[in-house]
Structure 1
Amino acid sequence: MATSAPAGLHLTDFVKRPSYGKIGRPIRVRTNYFEVISFPTSNIHHYDVTITPEVPPGLNRKIYKHFETLNAGALDNIKPVFDGRKNLFSAKKLPFGETATYDVVLPEDDGVTTSKRPPRAFKVKLKKVAEINMEELKRWLNQKAEISNNILTAIMALEVLIRHEPSMKYASVGRSFYTPEGAMALFGGAEVWQGYYQSVRPTPGKLMINVDLSATAFYQSGTLINMVVKILNKRNPDDLLRGVDRDRNKLEKELKGLKVCVNYRDENARKRRYKILKLTPLSADKAKFEYEGKSITVSQYFQKVRNMRLKYSMLPCVVVRKDTFFPIEICDVIPGQRHMRKLNEKQTADMIKFTCQQPHMRANKINQGIKLLNYHENEQMKQFHMQVSNEMKITNARILPTPTINYHISSRESAVTPRDGSWNLRDKRVATGATLGSWSVIAFGRDHDFPIMTIQNFIRELINTCSDTGMNIPNKNPPIMHANPIGNVEESVKQAWTRAGTASKQKPQLILCILPNTGTQLYGEIKYATDTVLGVASQCVQGRHVHGPKKQYCANVCLKINVKLGGMNSYLSPSLVPFIAERPSIMMGADVYHPGPGSTRPSIAALCASLDNHASRYASTIRVQSSREENIVDLFGMVKEMLRAFYQSCGKKPFRILFYRDGVSEGQFKKVLDSEIKSIKDACKSLDAAYNPKITFVVVQKRHHTRFFPLDRKDSDRTGNCFPGTVVETSVVHPVDFDFYLQSQAGLQGTCRPAHYHVLMDENGFTPDSLQALSYNLCYIYARCTRSVSIVPPVYYAHLICSRARFHSKSGNWSEESPEEEAEVTAASYNSVRPDLQKVMYFM
């Protein structure tokens, strides 16, 4: 347990942990943290590294390794550690004084992949920049020193130390390194490699190393001809003898940027590496170039000069320089190249199979990673006097009590206490059932794909289920129409909207869409039309569920439709959510969605907010902002909108705001807190100069590498995971800040990832028990399923709203497969959601 700090010491920029929670059944869990038994106590020397000419980090490491070998004597056999970019850390002062420059000439096999070969000679300049006081880090971990830049740099130096050796030996990406052992082939010439993530984490009184599994895709090595077979999904190379004219563009897109070497020349030539720039427009037996004053085809050249008959001369050649191209069959793919393109659906599904491992298997593999890392024998770590335990840390945890969920009083079972994080809708009616009077059905497909009788049968089953579940559907015969899924979708949806209004003489409330596939394009066009053009709720159902409808499926659809029309599915009794029940208080959830790698699309910010003292119904608002901007730029306007919506719904201003923020990494905490708290406070003041509600700001993180493994069999569910409600707030948390891990969901497959809640500001005086219980209980009233979910619903909803907003662009192209084709997608091309929909949960 952390020691108490001297009064007035600035230990953190955020909220200091007020105490420890007591609610729940105590248990013990094993975690993927390994204790640092000792770390350097004397100062670490920090040097700035400049390598000229400038090259990528992978090559920087090779240059550094060669420099270290050449200059071992000049460095007094001291083994510093290098981050591959600018920073070098040494346990002892290097002998050259303040600055020194060394010449390094790389041997021929250097891995250079640029199209124009840079000089083989490099200059490595080292310059002393600072000494890092390690004693200060030790004192801060024990709450006896203030947080400082020196402490942050000390942690960074130790991060570089633990990563130095693996990144010299293996393919490394960020904080993970990858090995080809046990790789699994993916569709299309890719394969997934097992990786190990490691990070130094400050915890109460100690440092820990968090070690976890990771996985990423690489290109399969081997002949380029085999790669082409896999990309084009052919059976064998002979299938390529007819040429690839129809698939040429697809092939060029997939091969662009791939690094290859030739396999027919002498040893030195084979070491040369080339990057594929494009394909030749013509095949090898038609593409010509000048040779000895004559025009000659590539095939003729190889026959005449190299005495080689090309077998696949009907294929295009790869262009590696402006005037250099090679036949595909003489190229090999260089091993260890990371697959940077977005994986397709099939590849993603295979990747999930590879990474999805039950808790005991994951724990075993992490322990294998510890053996591979072999901290005990690491030369650099010995020089720095850093020792790490080989045993996973065991820590205390608690299982919070399961809340009771309330349904309508007329239900046969109006209150339910779930077991293992899930329950069903049997004998239950929704808390507030919406009325559906004006609606229509549109089937995207031909009459024989979805016959009228089949659709009517599905509608009957859906209406019966909705009625049994407490919705009121007076209109049991909505108009039904068929439409072309690749025609003018917006026009078709408008027709369905008109038919709904004409048939019921009321404003349309819902359009039910039957889809022939799971593709993004049709779904996106429907949501664009209903959300931003017509302002009507829409419900998409998969065509396969329409044939022979099942009650369970219809019940899930009913939960979505009810909240889309302003109903409420379930709620918690006031005693379980005192923060929102005792006096008017608003829950807000915010997220920012960023486009995929290489894309220039804007980022999308979403905010949702509760509308009553049950926190079961939410309103929402969206802003489009510049690409990759993490701060929510117009949070002022968004909060103002949500406070107005709350007032219109309740007739009261909220006294308190609990703001859950998703998608922020630790390095951005301070920046986001400063700008976003100011926006929230300014929004309140703009409504009324005297209005000053108390704010609690909590960051919710899911992208982390902390996992828990139950120590005792009786504390695990049938999947081997911890039970829902497992909370951890000691040993592996922040040494000072108010944070905790909460696993609120039941295990379905693989190892559960707990959510990490980090309190950055708290004017409401939450205790750990009150915030943990509130956050956990809320996870049981996520409106679209009868399971507890992994993060609090306001954040989950904000995430759904961001995902939906991608479809609100007038560009009509929502594929992220081809970022180079999307330059025209700007903030101005996005439409707003119609005002009526913003007050209901249309995004479900």
Structure 2
Amino acid sequence: MDDLERTRPAQRSGYGSEGYKLTLHANFFELCIPRGLLLYRYHIAFTYDEKTPEISKSLCSNLIMSMIEEHFSDYVGGIVTDGKQNIISKHKLLPGVYTTQQDRSSYELSLKLTGTLLMSDLLNQLETSGEVLPNTRYTPVEHIQALNIILGHYPKFSRHILSPTSNSHFALDTQRISLVAGLHILRGLSLTVRAAQTRLLCNARLVHTICHDECPLDYAMISFIRENGPNMAKLAGFLRGLRIEPTHLPRLRSGRARIKRIAGLAMPEDGDKNTHLPVISRFAAGPKDVLFYRESKAPASQAEVAVTENGSKKRKRAALEGMVSVYEYFRAVYGIEIQDSSLPVLNVGSPSNPSYMPPQVCWLLPNQLSRAPLTAVQTQRLSNICTRNNHDGATNLGRELSRILGSGDSTRESNLENFGLAVARDMITVPGRVLKSPAVIYRDKCNANVRSGAWSSHGVKVGENFRCSRWTFLRITYASTVDKRALDDRSLDRTIEMLYCKMKELGLDIGNFWHPGLRVSLNDKGHVGKGADPLAGALERFTELSHRSPLSLLLVILPRYDEHLYSRIKMLCDIKKGIRNVCVIESKLARANGQFLANLALKINMKLGGMNQLLDESSLGLIGDGRTMVVGVDVTHPSSGRLYPKLPSVAAMVASVGPLLGQWPGMMHVQPAGQEIVPTIGSLLQSRLRVWQAANNEALPENILVYRDAVADRQYQGILDVELLDMRKACREVYHAKSRCRTEEDRLPRITVVLVGKRHHARFTLSTTKTERFHRREQKQDKNPVAGTVVDRGVTDGQMWDFYLQSHAAPRGIAHPAHYIVIFDEIFSGTSESRESPTDAIQRLTYNMCYLVGRSTNAASICPAVFYADLLCSRGRCYLTELLRQGELETGSTELNLHKNVRDTMFYT
């Protein structure tokens, strides 16, 4: 598709004016650059041969810096790099191939000029105040990337700063906060250059990361086992990829340590490339149970028996040949007696060519990030620390920024000054507006008392419900575990009765409880193995009971949070059996109060097809007339560092079925891992249009308002070129078969696509004016703006139609607003039915919809379309995890076919 024929992103349609005004501090600092600054951009490539080992990230950075210092020493102050493949210079460098040395090895680096960047082009485009210049790219990506490289150069190559990513930097000389179990917390900054209206800004936000303590590795392993239990699979995930220094080996001649990387724990499948396979009794075996083959390198008559002291540069070879245990090898060769042989042996080679080492001779190197899952105690402690630090650090953000950027470093000149860049010391202020909260309505037009984005469900009844004939529970226990917090039979019956009364109180039309419920006992692995599956048998029993006397709901009581067990239950209920179900952890049910039971009842009503809270017709704008379908789209990807790297990505779509926005049935598709653009979005939309037809007397919507989980800036055009095009094609097929209008344009609905960003770093806090102090007293908070605060000036994009909306109240920490980008619009700007501005209309509608997330009595932080699509993606990931565990997953071709009993319901809530 030619660039001129592409659909351009929507331009800003003015600014909003609704709501009362206030002034906010934003975590942005103005960035000044010389208008005449000319930058040269170069690409670095490494020349490999068959004998050259793979170049690591740290070695890559060192080689690039060595090349700059050796061959361009006169221009060092005016050259920066991202340490990967890009060099930015204010001096013109000679392209070519350059050789540099590292650890007595020679490397060749190819330097190639890829373009010049004149900063006046960027500044001129910003000063157009949103007007897209002809024959120019929409976003100056190369200019912004170059400025980000300049900002990140100093912290990346400073010894006292840890930079795990290109824009996250953590000072190592600050106080470290212990997280127990061999972990600690570091505080740092995330820095990004942003192009705003008429100016450039540096976005700085306090962030935290978790690192491993520098300590003996066996101590770290014992601490982990003490906190997480003797689960060797979790321990392997905790250790995989960590760098260690062997303490029994001498250092290199250069004085540098011998660094090894842990590939995993010893496994029976290791060594498939070795002539003599190692003998390993079990996964994570100890040093006495791991045997490897040791060849003889000297005649038998000359076999040595003497061994030198530990750490000596020269040692005689011990008389050990054939299959030798790791325990015997270290005792004979190094004179090291392994005291604790219960700890598993490490593999510091590879699964195909292993190299074994006991943890007692390993020293865990400092400043390594931890990607292992945290325990509940660690998660709570981390949350408390981050909340406190975010509040305390917001006022000192400018000082932290100067430190990270090296502005106060007297030992070397800051690279910002070398390029003529300057970052302001104070945060900017921006104008904000607070929108009026909508009226939340329950049955019989009973209005809830909304205050600071929250209200109570006491004394009200749900807006609409459906008949639930009978229901029962399934209680799961572990045969080998006795939990003192577990409910006895009498307490369980009493709690179930309290839940039943709460559902009746909220107006649910729910039938009697089928007593005595179902019970199943599993082993600690959730019954993994051959033979009859008691969990599947219990669900089959529920199905049989439903045939005799209708049962509409199953309450599943879990012994504890167990991802594997939860995924298995959802797989069996949603796909295999078609049972509407709600899961609850027994310990939470045991201490349940009225609010907990009310929230549980609200979830049950949504799963049964009911609607909880409603809004009056005036709050829903054009949706209230019943001609607009609201759609939510999200994509979830397999998490890095998890035990399931083979999982594909899941794309999910939910859609409203009427003007009340109470029910959002959805559908999922599987696509290749890491793919963000949804090529099958057309078929997803067609399925939602058919559900809309069935619920609206075969009528089709005139407007389709799509809220799409945000993608990276570089993928905006892909949303328009692929997804929007496919949605239009899907509409043509459906509407052509239904409509009898004269022209094709009359048949097709108007479409608006809004991206919803959740993972950005923009934060807003109240200033100290009299008005803002009043808002603080109203919310009983110190810094956060009131729910309904919208910002569309000062920090928003100069060309995109975007705005920030904080729709919720944050009782703890700094509130995280959502970032909405109207990337395409045919509804609000393309009609003159309403006299209000398109900007006010979409901002007010988006905010009001946040009060319709039916799982709680609080306004959500994002609109319900994306909120529910995210939940559906999470449910799809549960199914894929279970399919992978059962060996039934075929990446890229798996279909998640829901059972017909739950297909068009909100089963995923």
TM-score tier by shorter-chain length is: 0.7 to 0.9
| Higher deviation after alignment, 247-256 or 360-369 | 247-256
Shift of 1:401: 0.6
What residue is the counterpart of 2:867 in the other structure? 796
How do residues 53-452 of structure 1 correspond to structure 2 at under 5 angstroms? 53=48, 55-73=55-73, 75-94=74-93, 96=94, 99-106=95-102, 108=103, 120-143=105-128, 145-146=133-134, 147-148=136-137, 151-169=140-158, 170-174=161-165, 175-180=167-172, 181-233=174-226, 254-263=238-247, 268=252, 271-278=257-264, 281=280, 289=294, 290=296, 293=303, 294-295=319-320, 318-321=346-349, 326-343=357-374, 345-357=376-388, 360-364=391-395, 366-374=397-405, 376=407, 379-409=414-444, 414-445=446-477, 450-452=487-489
Are the aligned partners of 2:557 and 2:585 in contact in 1 as well (CA < 8 Å)? Answer: yes
Shift of 1:126: 2.0
Residue 668, structure 1, aligned to residue 715, structure 2: yes
Counterpart among 732, 740, 748 of residue 795 in structure 2: 732
Shift of 1:782: 0.6
Supply the distance in 2 between the matched residues of 1:523 and 1:199 (Cα, whole angstroms): 39
Aligned length: 800
What residue is the counterpart of 1:115 in the other structure? none
Supply the distance in 2 between the matched residues of 1:302 and 1:770 (Cα, whole angstroms): 74
Shift of 1:747: 0.6
Supply the distance in 1 between the matched residues of 2:477 and 2:337 (Cα, whole angstroms): 52
Aligned-residue sequence identity (percent) comes to 25
Supply the distance in 2 between the matched residues of 1:219 and 1:750 (Cα, whole angstroms): 25
How do residues 668-817 of structure 1 correspond to structure 2 at under 5 angstroms? 668-689=715-736, 690=744, 691-712=747-768, 713-716=773-776, 717-720=779-782, 721-766=784-829, 767-809=838-880, 811=882
What residue is the counterpart of 1:626 in the other structure? 672
Q: Per-residue displacement from partner, 1:649-707 (whole Å, max 9, x unpaired)?
A: 12221111110001422221111222111121111111122421101100001001001
Are the aligned partners of 1:478 and 1:500 in contact in 2 as well (CA < 8 Å)? Answer: no
Supply the distance in 2 between the matched residues of 1:575 and 1:738 (Cα, whole angstroms): 25
Q: Per-residue displacement from partner, 1:239-292 (whole Å, max 9, x unpaired)?
A: xxxxx9x87776555434322223355554652222234556586678674575
| Higher deviation after alignment, 199-208 or 50-59 | 50-59
| Higher deviation after alignment, 314-323 or 428-437 | 314-323
What residue is the counterpart of 1:470 in the other structure? 507
| Higher deviation after alignment, 185-194 or 162-171 | 185-194
- What is the RMSD of the two structures over their aligned residues, measured on CA atoms? 3.1
Q: Per-residue displacement from partner, 1:28-83 (whole Å, max 9, x unpaired)?
A: 1111100012345232111222234462332222122233333354x445531111
TM-score normalised per structure 2: 0.82
Q: Secondary structure at the match of 1:51?
A: strand
* 525 and 267 in structure 1: CA distance in 2 versus 1, 3 angstrom threshold: closer
Q: Secondary structure at the match of 2:427?
A: strand
Supply the distance in 1 between the matched residues of 2:329 and 2:569 (Cα, whole angstroms): 56
Are the aligned partners of 1:510 and 1:537 in contact in 2 as well (CA < 8 Å)? Answer: yes
Shift of 1:619: 1.9
Q: Per-residue displacement from partner, 1:724-776 (whole Å, max 9, x unpaired)?
A: 10111111110111100000011132111100000110001251111111011
* 277 and 29 in structure 1: CA distance in 2 versus 1, 3 angstrom threshold: same
Letter in 2 for 1:196: L
Letter in 1 for 2:387: C
What residue is the counterpart of 2:306 in the other structure? none
| Higher deviation after alignment, 165-174 or 37-46 | 37-46
Are the aligned partners of 1:587 and 1:609 in contact in 2 as well (CA < 8 Å)? Answer: yes
Q: Per-residue displacement from partner, 1:195-214 (whole Å, max 9, x unpaired)?
A: 31101100000000001122
What residue is the counterpart of 2:308 in the other structure? none
Supply the distance in 2 between the matched residues of 1:327 and 1:517 (Cα, whole angstroms): 34
| Higher deviation after alignment, 696-705 or 660-669 | 660-669
Supply the distance in 1 between the matched residues of 2:753 and 2:415 (Cα, whole angstroms): 41
Q: Per-residue displacement from partner, 1:623-668 (whole Å, max 9, x unpaired)?
A: 1222222122321111111111112112221111110001422221
Supply the distance in 2 between the matched residues of 1:541 and 1:194 (Cα, whole angstroms): 35
Supply the distance in 1 between the matched residues of 2:213 and 2:477 (Cα, whole angstroms): 40
Shift of 1:723: 0.8
Are the aligned partners of 1:442 and 1:513 in contact in 2 as well (CA < 8 Å)? Answer: yes
Q: Per-residue displacement from partner, 1:427-485 (whole Å, max 9, x unpaired)?
A: 21111132211322222239995554433322322222222211223435555222224
Structure 1 residue runs of 5 or longer lacking an equivalent are: 1-8, 109-118, 236-243, 815-820
* 775 and 315 in structure 1: CA distance in 2 versus 1, 3 angstrom threshold: closer
Structure 2 residue runs of 5 or longer lacking an equivalent are: 49-53, 267-279, 304-318, 527-532, 737-743, 830-837
Shift of 1:310: 5.8
Letter in 2 for 1:719: Q
* 644 and 464 in structure 1: CA distance in 2 versus 1, 3 angstrom threshold: same
Supply the distance in 2 between the matched residues of 1:130 and 1:205 (Cα, whole angstroms): 25
Q: Per-residue displacement from partner, 1:149-187 (whole Å, max 9, x unpaired)?
A: 893211111111001111111332332122333333345
* 77 and 182 in structure 1: CA distance in 2 versus 1, 3 angstrom threshold: closer
* 494 and 320 in structure 1: CA distance in 2 versus 1, 3 angstrom threshold: closer
Supply the distance in 2 between the matched residues of 1:328 and 1:549 (Cα, whole angstroms): 44
Residue 592, structure 1, aligned to residue 635, structure 2: yes
| Higher deviation after alignment, 282-291 or 647-656 | 282-291
Supply the distance in 2 between the matched residues of 1:58 and 1:149 (Cα, whole angstroms): 35
Residue 833, structure 1, aligned to residue 903, structure 2: no
* 250 and 424 in structure 1: CA distance in 2 versus 1, 3 angstrom threshold: closer
What residue is the counterpart of 1:490 in the other structure? 536
Counterpart among 31, 45, 49 of residue 44 in structure 2: 49
Are the aligned partners of 1:12 and 1:736 in contact in 2 as well (CA < 8 Å)? Answer: no
Supply the distance in 1 between the matched residues of 2:380 and 2:34 (Cα, whole angstroms): 42
Counterpart among 647, 652, 661 of residue 606 in structure 1: 652
Q: Secondary structure at the match of 1:696?
A: strand
* 50 and 753 in structure 1: CA distance in 2 versus 1, 3 angstrom threshold: same
* 300 and 597 in structure 1: CA distance in 2 versus 1, 3 angstrom threshold: closer
Are the aligned partners of 1:521 and 1:813 in contact in 2 as well (CA < 8 Å)? Answer: no
Supply the distance in 2 between the matched residues of 1:330 and 1:573 (Cα, whole angstroms): 69
Letter in 2 for 1:182: Q
Supply the distance in 2 between the matched residues of 1:474 and 1:613 (Cα, whole angstroms): 29
Supply the distance in 2 between the matched residues of 1:316 and 1:445 (Cα, whole angstroms): 30
| Higher deviation after alignment, 379-388 or 285-294 | 285-294
Supply the distance in 2 between the matched residues of 1:423 and 1:619 (Cα, whole angstroms): 26
